[in-house]
A and B are shown apart, each in its own frame.
Chain A
Amino acid sequence: MSTKIRKLFPIILLLVVPCVLRAQDIKLPPDIESLSAKAKETVEVNMDGPMLRWASKFLSKEDPEEKEAAKLVENLKSIYVRSYEFTDEKAYSTAEVESLRSQFRSPTWSRVVGVRSEHDGENVDVFFRMEDEKMAGIVIISAEPKELTFVNIVGPIEIDQLADLGGEFGIPRLKTRPPSSKPLAKADKGDQK
């Protein structure tokens, strides 16, 4: 490394580190709001830590599924749901969804599920974030011809626990199948509780 670069290294580090931290800390991708301008209907749900801890008290202690969800929710930091419904099938472009997905293609994020259905045009991607070798968040991007849903769950969560949260707080219910079959998962908003 030349002396000049060595001198510049701390400055580069100072410039790069905040960008990396921002990338790890994505709550909502910056360009997601542009989809709202095209949508016939936008539904936004925000639940932060205190609200989630409070909400966990209202999940049924008798229903085993809800009991699991309550335990999980207590430790989460936040949940953000953005759902856009469009009038026309071509209201948003593939490039726009790809731009959303690309923000979760970084060393801290891994894609665990990717479904592309040519039959009904439904595409689902699930990304998870690792922090100190533990799962620290999950992002779901579900794109249908006339609907796009983005979910960001921030906090400790395992991929198999995602099913427990489906149907709560506006999170789509994920139908998971054995790893051998394809597709791996299917988002089904119509099958919520």
Chain B
Amino acid sequence: MKSLRVAILVVCASSLAFAGDPEFHTIVKSIEHTYGVHHLRIPFLGVAMFFARPSGVHGLKLAVFEGFHSPDDTEAVRRVVEHSLGPEWHPFVRVLSRGKQNGETTLIYTNPTGNRMRMMIVNLEPSEAVVVKMDLSDDAIEKWLKEPGEEAEGHRHHQKVRDEDKERDRDKEHDQQMLAKE
């Protein structure tokens, strides 16, 4: 019975990271439909994001698409994203880094309403795409308004650290499985 309760908690927590947000859901579905990919179901993601969210950020939602092959023309992705988002979303920052193997594009849209700013970030790497939606606190908004380019760069850095952590976890899991087999 205890294990059932734990399982329910895990399922609920991981779905918290995705559910209840039609705009986020639409954009994820559009990417899946257009590029024939599926976002990863990451166990404990909701719990992890609750404890390890960046400062000044809440309502964080994340979808990771592995095996996403970024097209040469990222304009096409931009069109897909903008078509999915409504007119109340404003293109705010776009960062493009060129490189044969490590080219990266970050598209950032904002939806300012009342005293809060919602932000949608789409990060495209050669073999992965990430969609993040978040609500920013006043302090975080100030930072973004002062240095939008720098903040976008910072977000990309955090993304890389998260990717490295994820890879390390996967390696650890793989090692444990190998040991168990032996």
Instruction: Verify B148–A169 contact, CB threshold 8 A.
Output: yes
Supposing A46-B90, A58-B138 touch, asked if A41 and B145 sit within 8 A by C-beta, the answer is: no
What total of chain B residues lie within 8 Å of the partner, measured CB to CB? Answer: 23
- With both beta carbons as reference points, the residue of chain A lying nearest to B88 in the complex is identified as A50
Stretch in B13-21, B34-42, B95-103 touching the partner: B95-103
- With both beta carbons as reference points, the residue of chain B lying nearest to A87 in the complex is identified as B98
Contacts of B146 in A (CB 8 A): 167-169, 192-193
Interface bits B142-182 vs A (CB < 8 Å: 1, else 0): 10011111001000000000000000000000000000000
What total of chain A residues lie within 8 Å of the partner, measured CB to CB? Answer: 27
Other A-B contacts than A45-B92, A58-B138, 12 sampled, CB-CB below 8 A, are A39-B96, A41-B97, A43-B148, A44-B93, A44-B94, A46-B93, A55-B112, A58-B141, A58-B142, A168-B146, A169-B145, A170-B149
Q: How far is the CA of A171 from the CA of B74 in the complex (A)?
A: 25
Contacts of A115 in B (CB 8 A): none
In the assembled complex, how far is the CB of residue A187 from the closest CB belonging to chain B, in whole angstroms?
Answer: 15
Instruction: Verify A47–B92 contact, CB threshold 8 A.
Output: yes
In the assembled complex, how far is the CB of residue A146 from the closest CB belonging to chain B, in whole angstroms?
Answer: 14
Contacts of B93 in A (CB 8 A): 43-46
Chain A positions near chain B (C-beta within 8 angstroms): 36, 39-48, 50-51, 54-55, 57-60, 81, 83, 167-170, 192-193
Instruction: Verify B110–A51 contact, CB threshold 8 A.
Output: yes
Instruction: Verify B147–A41 contact, CB threshold 8 A.
Output: no
Instruction: Verify B112–A43 contact, CB threshold 8 A.
Output: no
Other-chain residue from A41, A42, A48, A170 in contact with B148 (beta carbon distance below 8 A): A170
Q: How far is the CA of A45 from the CA of B93 in the complex (A)?
A: 5
A-B contact pairs, 28 of them (CB 8 A): A36-B96, A39-B98, A40-B98, A40-B99, A41-B95, A41-B98, A42-B96, A43-B93, A43-B94, A43-B148, A44-B93, A45-B92, A45-B93, A45-B148, A51-B90, A51-B92, A54-B112, A54-B117, A55-B145, A58-B138, A58-B141, A59-B142, A60-B142, A83-B149, A168-B146, A169-B148, A192-B146, A193-B146
- With both beta carbons as reference points, the residue of chain B lying nearest to A54 in the complex is identified as B112
Q: How far is the CA of A36 from the CA of B142 in the complex (A)?
A: 28
Residues of B70-114 contacting chain A, CB below 8 A: 90-99, 110, 112
Q: How far is the CA of A59 from the CA of B144 in the complex (A)?
A: 11
Supposing A41-B96, A46-B90 touch, asked if A51 and B148 sit within 8 A by C-beta, the answer is: no
Instruction: Verify A43–B90 contact, CB threshold 8 A.
Output: no
Q: How far is the CA of A168 from the CA of B142 in the complex (A)?
A: 10
Contacts of A58 in B (CB 8 A): 138, 141-142, 145
Q: How far is the CA of A42 from the CA of B105 in the complex (A)?
A: 9
Q: How far is the CA of A83 from the CA of B145 in the complex (A)?
A: 16
Which 9 residue pairs are nearest across A and B when measured between Cβ atoms? A43-B149, A54-B112, A44-B94, A42-B96, A45-B148, A41-B97, A170-B148, A170-B149, A58-B141
